[in-house]
Amino acid sequence: MIKTFTENDLIRYVYGEISENEKTEIENAAVCDPEMDEELRFLKSIYQDLNELVIAPSERVISKILNYSIS
């Protein structure tokens, strides 16, 4: 019997926050369910995109902070 998984379960899978048993169940379910497999691939791509983001302050902001700290 294949268990039904929520989107939260899939997110936990992508972030590696599940047990080995759950991981196996999700992977087996994804093989049998193309929609779930597509959702899982989508969440994995979002996860990768988020990890590639680099957020840094602009030079203008850094300059203002440095000028303020000198004052």
What is the total count of domains within the chain? 1
pLDDT in tens, 21-66: 999 999 999 999 999 999 999 999 999 999 888 888 899 999 999 9
Containing structural domain, residue 41: 7-70
pTM of the model: 0.71
What is the pLDDT, as a whole number, of residue 36?
94
Q: Is the pLDDT of residue 2 over 70?
A: no
Residue 55 lies in a domain: yes
Domain assignment present for 2: no
Asked, for residue 49, whether it belongs to a domain, the answer is yes
SS3 (DSSP) at 22? helix
Number of helices (H) and strands (E) in the chain: give both, helices first. Answer: 4, 0
The average pLDDT across 6-33 equals: 95
Does residue 32 belong to any structural domain of this protein? yes
pLDDT, mean of residues 3-30: 94
User: Is 48 contained in some domain?
Assistant: yes
In a domain, 54, yes or no: yes
